[in-house]
Structure 1
Amino acid sequence: MPKIIKNLEETITNSALDLFRNLDYDEVDMKKIAKNSGIAVGTLYNYFPNKLELYITVLCQSWNDTLYKINNIPHYENDPKLQIKEFISVLYDDVSFRNGMGSYGLSSNKAISADERIIDLKNSIQTTLMYYFESTKTKITKEEISKFFECLLVNLSLLIHNYYEERSSNIQLLSDMFISYLKFKNS
């Protein structure tokens, strides 16, 4: 009798996330994902045609979870600095959790960066950032937001990697950078 696993697609994506977080993209293959999911490789291919498709799915799900958390931060109309700090905190914790997983797809693989889901995800991130800039009455272009976000992610990743034990001061530094940028743009 075949083994029945409830929520198999969720089991697969969670297992893949675990592997992609802890191993380089090239170290992960469909056999490892299947084994980590407790299923046969053939079953895995019934859900995902290849590793790239599964990687994009997992990366998008993970970032969509981050955006959900960010979009549910309370609106502090009288204290945009607090709102920015909470935004940075969520971003910091989720990027830390992903452990550099997105860096492969967003920087070195043209197939991933050209995928419509990744493009939609980047647009969603930009829209979310635009909200934070607008709440501070800052006028900024979409291109500037894109560049700012990339700088923020690089700095965030470096701080996580080099100063992992200093979460609070890292978040404060990034928040101060964000606020300084806003002041610069408003002057």
Structure 2
Amino acid sequence: MPKIIDNLHEKIFECSLKLFGEYGYNEVNMKRIAKELDIAVGTLYNYYPNKQDLFFTVLKKSWQQTFFKLDKVKETNYSSRKKLKYSIKILYDEIENRKGLGKELTKANVIKKESLDGIKDRLDGIIRNLVEELKKEEKIDIDKEIEERLIRVFFLSVIDMLDKYAKEKENNIKFINYIIDCNFK
């Protein structure tokens, strides 16, 4: 008689999030996840047809939690500048908590590009809206091309700072805030 595992979907998510975050996409396979969960590989395939679908589900679900936090920032009475900086801090914390999973967003060969586009587009839209709000509130005029590059730099800086200066969180956030302050004045 097969064993019944309560909340197996949630356990698969938590285990996969941990393994993908710790080892990255290429170093994790379905067999490893099943072994960690102490289930048969076939059971895992009953839930997900392949590693790519499982990875994207984990990635998407973990980012939904981040988007919820970022949406809450929009509802605050903070100044636009503070909202932008606080959102960058949330992104930093969230990517840091995901460990390697956050960096997978920048790797084009991991999963289908269209699978990542929704996440990247939503992040881009959030940052873009905060920048527009800041420009309007503080009456800042900035070249559109520079603005586009800055929006990209904010997200990529978080990933790069976590990679290069992993143990310097306070300085990393301070640096990104410096970029904001230098370019939006």
- Asked whether the two chains share a fold, i.e. TM above 0.5, the reply is yes
Structure 2 residue matching 1:44: 3-state secondary structure: helix
Work out which of the residue numbers 150, 153, 159 in structure 2 matches 1:151: 153
Residue type at the aligned position of 2:90: V
Aligned to 1:76: 77
CA shift, 1:34, in A, is: 1.0
- Ranges in structure 1 where 5+ consecutive residues have no aligned partner: none
Residue type at the aligned position of 1:131: N
Structure 1 residue matching 2:112: 3-state secondary structure: helix
C-alpha distance in 2, partners of 1:123/1:141?
Answer: 21
C-alpha distance in 2, partners of 1:32/1:142?
Answer: 47
CA shift, 1:93, in A, is: 0.6
Aligned length: 180
8 Å contact from structure 1 (residues 106, 113) kept in 2:
no
Structure 1 residue matching 2:67: 3-state secondary structure: helix
- Cα RMSD of the aligned pairs, angstroms, is 2.6
Cα 1:37–1:25 shift into 2, 3 Å: same
CA shift, 1:49, in A, is: 0.4
C-alpha distance in 1, partners of 2:46/2:168?
Answer: 43
Task: Decide which moves more: 7-16 or 137-146.
Answer: 137-146
Aligned to 1:173: 175
CA shift, 1:52, in A, is: 0.7
8 Å contact from structure 2 (residues 84, 127) kept in 1:
no
Residue type at the aligned position of 2:162: I
Cα 1:110–1:157 shift into 2, 3 Å: closer
Structural mapping, 1:122-141, within 5 Å: 122-136=120-134, 137=136
CA shift, 1:75, in A, is: 2.3
Structure 1 residue matching 2:3: 3-state secondary structure: coil
Residue type at the aligned position of 2:31: K
Structure 2 residue matching 1:82: 3-state secondary structure: helix
TM-score under structure 1 normalisation? 0.82
> In the alignment, is residue 119 of structure 1 matched against residue 120 of structure 2?
no
Task: Decide which moves more: 171-180 or 132-141.
Answer: 132-141
Residue type at the aligned position of 2:164: N
TM-score under structure 2 normalisation? 0.83
- Ranges in structure 2 where 5+ consecutive residues have no aligned partner: none
8 Å contact from structure 1 (residues 133, 140) kept in 2:
no
CA shift, 1:163, in A, is: 2.4
> In the alignment, is residue 8 of structure 1 matched against residue 8 of structure 2?
yes
C-alpha distance in 1, partners of 2:124/2:94?
Answer: 17
8 Å contact from structure 2 (residues 89, 173) kept in 1:
yes
CA shift, 1:99, in A, is: 1.8
